[in-house]
Amino acid sequence: MPLSPIPQGVYPSVTDISPKLLAAKGIRLVLADLDNTLAPYRVTEPPSTVVAWKQNLEEAGIMLFLLSNSRKPGRAQRFAEKLGIPYQGHSGKPKRAGYLRAMERMGCTSEETVMVGDQIFTDTLGANNAGVIPLLVQPIRLAGNPGRYIRYAVETPFRLLGKRRPFL
């Protein structure tokens, strides 16, 4: 579904996305956004719930890959290293090139890949553009940046449409 801003489901958090159900759908790779998806902005340690979710993914035969647009030097790298997963910073989402590079690195096709993120106009739009299944999560925390409130308000209709077409 190229250039579509509509996700295939909206989930409360990454930990509400079942590794077993993903595996049953043939998913081998989860690309995940960092900020407000895996952890709040400026949090440098992976939350214990995310560590447990990553272990459950591995047990289901699924690889986790950090696909971030973070411009903070070393942020994506340090977080990924602490979680023990590969990463790609400055990914250029929603451009498809970052998604394609990540899948190539991991030896997976778009049909075997989902993208989990909290933003429609980067994560979901880019995933759809790259032929990857977009799964949207509620942002962990909105506080701090007034622009985020506006962006999420604009995204509301697409979030509502995504709730009507869950992947899992």
pTM of the predicted structure, to 2 decimals = 0.93
Establish if 1 belongs to a structural domain.
no
pLDDT at 152: 82
Domain boundaries, position 139: 10-163
Place of tokens 């790609």: 88
Indicate the number of domains in the chain.
1
Establish if 3 belongs to a structural domain.
no
Number of H helices, E strands in the chain: 6, 6
Q: Which tokens is 155 given?
A: 């995204």
Establish if 168 belongs to a structural domain.
no
Establish if 4 belongs to a structural domain.
no
Establish if 5 belongs to a structural domain.
no
Q: pLDDT above 90 covers what percent of the chain?
A: 77
Q: Which tokens is 85 given?
A: 């997963």
Q: Which tokens is 60 given?
A: 């289901």
CB contact at 8 A, 31 and 116: yes
Q: How far is CA 76 from CA 23, 37, 120, 149, 166, in A?
A: 26, 13, 20, 24, 28
Establish if 138 belongs to a structural domain.
yes
Report the pLDDT averaged over residues 108-129: 96
Any residues with CB less than 8 A from the CB of 58 and at least 6 apart, and which?
Answer: 64
What residues pair up with 116 in beta bridges, in sequence order? 32, 135
Instruction: Place 104 in a pLDDT band, splitting at 50, 70 and 90.
Output: very high
What is the CATH classification number for the domain harbouring 22? 3.40.50.1000
pLDDT at 144: 66
Establish if 121 belongs to a structural domain.
yes
CA gap 65, 49 in Å, rounded: 17
CA gap 162, 26 in Å, rounded: 21
Q: How far is CA 62 from CA 48, 65, 149, 154, in A?
A: 19, 10, 33, 33
Instruction: Place 32 in a pLDDT band, splitting at 50, 70 and 90.
Output: very high
- Is the pLDDT score of 112 beyond 70? yes
Establish if 83 belongs to a structural domain.
yes
